Amino acid sequence: MTIYAIGDIHGHLDKLRLAHARIAADRAAHDADAALVVHTGDLVDRGPDSAGVVSWLMQAQAADARLIVLTGNHDQMFTRWLETGPTPDPRDPPHVRYLSEGAGGSATLASYDIDPTGPPDDVHTEATAKVPTAHRAWLAGLPVTHQAEGCIFVHAGLRPGIPLDRQDKADLVWIRDDFLTDTGDHGAFVVHGHTPVKSVEHHPNRLNIDTGAAWGGPVTAVVIDAAGVWQLTDKGRRAVPRLGPA
């Protein structure tokens, strides 16, 4: 059992490339060439080069079947805004406005050479013309979960007590407290992002790998194998201790 995972990217292509470089070095050092790499979503928004991240991952995935890319809530907000325009999408939570300062969608549009400050309808018209159709189709087609090596990979988490095949897809990319405070067995070890933490958190039932790339932190790469959980650094593997009871 060996599998790699990469947390929230949020438009930081340089940090994503560094994470992949660390995985490449670890593959060579630990004879893990066949292991999958799962990205847990939130590719876009807030950072400076969402367009570059999408292009890079599309090309990398087309060339390497070992790469799995999941969708996050920000990826879904972007594609839904392109579909519906300035009108709030009923599939998103009521407080969500894609071009609000908190969401970070303006940075994504700027990376596609779109001025996000104009009249909303004009901004949307320009975006639908400039965001490549291939980018939109790829983002819209990203899966919500992936299961491998005794793990469930998902952007935000799971609704406790609900089988995976009955989970609300909105929960999978938006849930926080009900999942984060639950200490029960989810049927597999859950690897997720979505909720930024200062350092990787290894709980008995889950692993949070969103280390706040959107807010100045790194895009984190980890490896999970039979011996434990390891964060990848420029100096190699660093063990991630498990929190809570043994």
* Whether the predicted pLDDT of 59 surpasses 60: yes
Share of the chain residues as helix, strand and coil, in percent rounded to the nearest 5 = 35, 20, 45
Reported as a single tens digit per residue, the pLDDT across 94-143 is 677 888 888 899 999 999 999 999 999 999 999 999 999 999 999 999 99
Question: In angstroms, what is the C-alpha Rg of the chain?
Answer: 18
Structure tokens at 188: 């597999």
**pLDDT tens-digit readout, 208-225:** 999 999 999 999 999 999
Between the alpha carbon of residue 232 and those of residues 13, 21, 24, 25, 146, the distances in Å are: 17, 10, 10, 9, 21
- Tokens (6 digits) for 49: 């080069």
Q: Which residues are CB-neighbours of 23 under 8 A, at least 6 positions away?
A: 4, 6, 37, 221, 223, 232
Surface-to-core class of residue 222, CB atoms within 10 Å of its CB (0-12 exposed, 13-18 middle, 19+ buried): buried
Q: What is the mean pLDDT of the chain?
A: 95
Residue type, 95: H
Query: Does 55 score more than 90 pLDDT?
Result: yes
The predicted-structure confidence for 41-53, as pLDDT tens digits, reads as follows 999 999 999 999 9
Q: How many residues does the chain have?
A: 246
**Residue 213 burial (10 A CB sphere; 0-12, 13-18, 19+):** buried
pLDDT at 8 over 80: yes
Q: How confident is the model at residue 246 (pLDDT cuts 50, 70, 90)?
A: low
Q: Residues 29, 31, 33, 37: what is their CA dihedral angle, to the nearest 10 degrees?
A: -70
Domain annotation for the chain: domains and CATH numbers: 2-239 (3.60.21.10)
User: How many Å from the N-terminal Cα to the C-terminal Cα in the chain?
Assistant: 21
